[in-house]
Amino acid sequence: MTTQFSKEQANRYFQELQARICEGLEQADGGGGFRTDGWERPGGGGGVSRVMENGEVFEKGGVNTSEVFGTLPETIARRINASPTGFYATGISLVLHPRNPWVPTIHANLRYFEMEDGSAWFGGGTDLTPYYCFTEDAVHFHTVLRNVCDASDPESYRKFKRWCDEYFYLKHRGEARGVGGVFFDYLKGDPDRHFRFVQGIGDAFLDSYLPIVRRRAGLAYGERERTWQLIRRGRYVEFNLVYDRGTTFGLETNGRVESILMSLPPLVSWIYDHTPEPGSKEEELLEILRHPREWIAA
């Protein structure tokens, strides 16, 4: 079947999405702005990092795009059962760490990967990491994602939600990173359809997150909530440095370190053997993370 899709089309979309998301986030923040930082990768390609620090709502956030190519490192080639041959990859990756503990952290990543032998696929996903869990926020987030999935394949939300729960899981802690979302990889064949799905996920990002931000950003918090937020951010760091495929890929392909580690929060805390008070909202969150839920009917 003849397809109209091209890697250039994907790259243009990710760049346009970056601009659109940053504009929406700046409006939501009301004070902070994104610093734009272009970079080049030794070996081929580069990207644009856009980072906000010390905003009114977002303590730190980054929205990065990249377009890289060259020879696939042997370590990555073995991992995906490929030979160390030429590759091309383009995508967008973002993480937002809010200042207020009642507002959840969010992550999203969308990417297109192409090998010299002609094989190609899409991957990505998005997940929500609250410090205090509000059912209506999780339901809203998952409902937006399910609607995007249903427009592509009514069976995909259930599959990608389960994949997300399995992927964003800290095995050494026995905890999910957050309340999940969707995660997918190696979407091969029919690139037109898969690209429309990826665009749907990207286009829905602001709608999935900003209503939650608006509901929670004005809530009062104190030292207790802030301390808990910093502890939970520690779990976020653990996942990104131990398990995250994007971090590994970026480092092993000589990507720009500052852009790769943009996902890490500005402040974090590890307290030895910290245990929340019985019956507290902090303990409630841990119970949810230890037993992932179905937030909406699939």
Active site residues: 107
- Give the length of the chain: 298
The burial class, CB within 10 Å (0-12 / 13-18 / 19+), for 50 is buried
SS3 23: helix
CB 292 within 8 A of CB 180: yes
- Tokens of residue 251, six digits: 């480092």
Q: Round to whole Å and give the CA distance between 142 and 160.
A: 11
Rg of the chain over Cα atoms, rounded to whole angstroms, equals 19
Phi, psi of 159 (to 5 degrees): -65, -45
Q: How far is 257 from 266, CA to CA, in rounded Å?
A: 16
In single-letter form, the type of residue at position 31 comes to G
Q: Looking at this protein, which amino acid is placed at residue 170? A: L
- Tell me the three-class secondary structure of 216-254, residue by residue: HCCCCCCHHHHHHHHHHHHHHHHHHHHCCHHHHHHHHCC
